[in-house]
Amino acid sequence: MILSSIQDKKLCPKVAMKWTIVLLIVLVNLYADVCMYINGDIAYPLLDLVLVGVGVYVFVSKKMYAQRYAFPAVAGMTAFIIFPLVYTLWISFTNYSGAHVMSVENAMKYHLKKTFKTEGSDYDFKLFDLGNGKYDLLLSKDGESYKLAKAVELKQNSESDNENTTPIAINLVKASSDSVLGTVVPMRQMLTLKNNIQRLQLHLAEKGQELTLSGLRKFSAEGEKFIPLKKGSKAENGYVVTEHNALWDVQSKQLFLPNMETGYYQYANEKGELLGEEFAPGFKVGVGLKNYVKFLSNESIRMPFLKIFTWTVCFSGLTVLITLAIGLVLACLVQWEFLRFKGIYRVFLILPYAVPSFISILVFKGLFNQNFGELNVFLNAVMAPIYNLFGLEWNSIEWFTDPWAARGMILIVNCWLGYPYMMILCMGLLKSIPDDLYEATAIEGASPWTNLKCITLPLLIKPLAPLLIASFAFNFNNFVLIQLLTSGGPDIIEATQAPAGYTDLLVSFTYRIAFEGGKGNDYGLAAAVATMIFIVVGLLSLLQLKFAKNSAMQQ
C-alpha cells in the first residue's frame, strides 16, 4: 500500500501535464472554431471539432490505445482527401461564385448599412477657427441656428486621416448666429480640413437627427434606407412576411426580399412577387443539379470539355509511352558494357530531372518564342533554303498560336522533363534481369530486337505497370506545365460560356472556370466539372488497375 501511494505521487506531475496539454489544445481549437464561425464559416469549424474531439478521445482513453498509431493517418486522410472531396461536391450544388460569396444573412447586413439623405434635412454651416487648433461649427436652417456643445480639434489632411474613419460624435446646442466666437474659415483652408470634418457625427437631440457632411457647405441628416421585417409581421403595403431576412425600403416604401433561386435581393409587390433589378451583393443558395445540367446541356461548355478530355488522355498516354521508350533506350545504352565514360553520360542524362521543372519550362518558353526563339531561328536557317529548292515558301512555326504546334510543343517539353525518371527506373530494373538469359539467346543467334521483345520488355512491364499508372495520373493533372508554358492557349473560339484552350488539360480547364471566367469566378460550375473529372479519372484508374492485374495473372 505504501509503495503504490508513492508511485501515484510520482505519476501526479505527468498526469497533470498531460491534462494541461489536452486542455490547452481543446481551448485553442475552440477559440479558433468560434472565430471562424463568427466570420460565417461552418464547414471548417465542424471538421476541426470532429477531428479534435475524436483525437482527444483516442489519446486519452485507455480502450483506444491501439488506435493511437492509426489516428494521425486517418485524420490526415479525412482533412486533406475526404473533406475536400465532400466540400467540392457540396459547392457543386450551389451558385457559389465571385458574385455570390456571402450568406444571405451577411447580404442583409450589407443592405441594412445603407443610408439615404432625408428630405428637407440640409443645414448650411460655417466653420470658425478658435485658435490653438480648436474649431466650432455654426449650422443654420429656416432661421434656426445650432453650434457644437464643445469645440473640436481638427487637423489638416494627411494619409493617416484617409485610413482613420472613426466618427467623432458631438452634440449640437441651440445658438444665435452671432454667438460663435472666432474667425470664419475660408473655403480654401476648409478643404485642407475636409477629411476630419467628414468624420464629424453631429447629434441634434431636439429633432432626433444625426447630421453628417453632405457637401462643401452642408450637413444633412441621414436615415436608414432599410429596416428588417420579422416573419409573420405585416409590411406597410399589406404583405404578410412569410420568410426570414425580409427588408422594407423606407425611402421608396417598397418590399425588399431575397430571391432564393438567383441569390440576389429584389423588390417585390404586395403579393410578394419578385420583380425588377437584382441588387448586389449576391449570396450563396442551393441550386440542386443546375450546374451539372448547365455543364451537360450547354454546347459551349460540353464541346470544349470533350475536346479537352480527349487531349488530356492522349497527352498523358503519349507522354508515358514516349518517355518510357526514350528512358528504356538510354538505360540500355548507358549500361552497354563496351561504352566508355558511362558515368559522365548518366550525369548529363539525369540533369533535366535535377533542375527544377519550372525553370526548365520557362527556358523552353523562350526557346519556342515564335519571333525570337532560338528554335525558330535555327529552323528558318535550315528549312528555308530546302523549301526554296522546290519552289516552296517556309513559314515559321507558330508554337503558341497554332493548336497542333502548341500541343506538339507541350509534348516535347514534357517528354524532356519526364524521360530521366523512366531512365532511372529502367536502369534499376535492367540490373535485376539475369545475364544468363541474354547469353542463352546469343548462342541461338537472337538479334537485339528479339532480346528486347522476348526478354527485356516482358520482365520490365510487370514491375513497371504501377509506376506507369502513377505517371499517367500525374500527367493527367500536370497543371504547372500548362500554366507556365501556354496558360491553356490558344483559346477555343467556340467556348463562349467557359474559358478553354486547345492545350488545356482538365485540371487547368477547371482552374480557368473557377478563376478566369469572363462573368466572374464560377466556383459552383468549376466544382461540378471537378466532380465529373473525379468520376472519370476514378473509372479510368479502376480500368487501368484491372488491366494491370489481368496482365500480371496471365504472366
Specify which residues 279 forms β-bridges with.
265
Collapsing DSSP to helix, strand or coil, 286 comes out as strand
pTM for the full model? Answer: 0.76
In a domain, 39, yes or no: yes
Instruction: For residue 9, tell me if it sits in a domain.
Output: no
pLDDT at 3: 42
How high is the pLDDT of residue 5?
44
Domain boundary among 224, 240, 260: 224
Instruction: Tell me the backbone φ, ψ of residue 353, rounded to 5 degrees.
Output: -80, -25
The CA-atom distances, in angstroms, between 441 and each of 331, 449, 460 are: 20, 11, 18
Residue 30's CATH number: 1.20.58.370
Residues in contact with 520: Cβ distance below 8 Å, sequence separation at least 6, in sequence order: 97, 98, 99
Domain that holds residue 142: 116-224
Same domain assignment for residues 402 and 523:
yes
Instruction: Kindly report the CATH number assigned to the domain that includes residue 424.
Output: 1.10.3720.10
What 3-state class would DSSP assign to 184? strand
At 6, list the grid cell.
508513492
Q: Is residue 461 situated within a structural domain? A: yes
The angle at the Cα of 293, spanning 291 to 298, to the nearest 5 degrees, equals: 100
Residue 206 forms part of a structural domain: yes
Instruction: Give the closest residue to 123 by CA, choosing from 54, 233, 182, 200.
Output: 200
- State whether 407 and 260 are in the same domain: no
One-letter amino acid of 291: N
Residues 428 and 520 occupy one common structural domain: yes
At 363-414, the pLDDT tens digits run 999 999 988 889 999 999 999 899 888 888 888 899 999 999 999 999 999 9
Phi, psi of 230 (to 5 degrees): -80, 150
Whether a cis peptide bond, with omega within 30° of 0, leads into 84 is no
Q: Is position 288 within any domain? A: no
Q: Quick one: cell of 26? A: 481543446
Q: For residue 60, which phi and psi values (nearest 5 degrees)?
A: -100, -40
Q: Three-state SS for 316?
A: helix
Q: In the prediction, which pLDDT does 548 show?
A: 66
Q: Angle CA(434)–CA(440)–CA(445) in degrees, nearest 5?
A: 135
The answer as to whether 5 is a domain residue is no
Asked if 22 and 69 sit in the same domain, the reply is: yes
The residue length of the chain stands at 555
pLDDT at 555: 57
Is residue 537 within 8 A of residue 473, CB to CB? The reply is yes
Bond preceding residue 258 cis, omega within 30 of 0: no
pLDDT of amino acid 4: 45
Measured between alpha carbons, how far is 103 from 285 in angstroms, rounded to an integer?
8
> Among 198, 224, 250, which residue terminates a domain?
224
Whose CA is closest to 512, among 554, 545, 543, 482?
A: 482
Question: At 138, which CATH number?
Answer: 2.40.430.10
In one-letter notation, the amino acid at residue 146 is Y
3-class secondary structure per residue, 102-158 = ECHHHHHHHHHCCEEEEEEEEEEEEEEEEECCEEEEEEEECCEEEEECCCEECCCCC
CA-nearest of 225, 203, 224 to 123 is 203
β-bridge mates for residue 479, sequence order: none
- Residue 107 has a pLDDT of 93
Asked if 218 and 235 sit in the same domain, the reply is no
What's the sign of the alpha-carbon dihedral 110, 111, 113, 116?
A: positive
Other Cβ atoms less than 10 A from the Cβ of 129: the count is: 18
Q: Which three cell numbers stand for residue 18?
A: 498531460
Low-confidence ranges of the chain (pLDDT < 50): 1-9
- Rounded CA gap, 334 and 343, in Å? 8
| 334 and 475 assigned to the same domain | yes
> Cα separation of 317 and 400, whole Å?
22
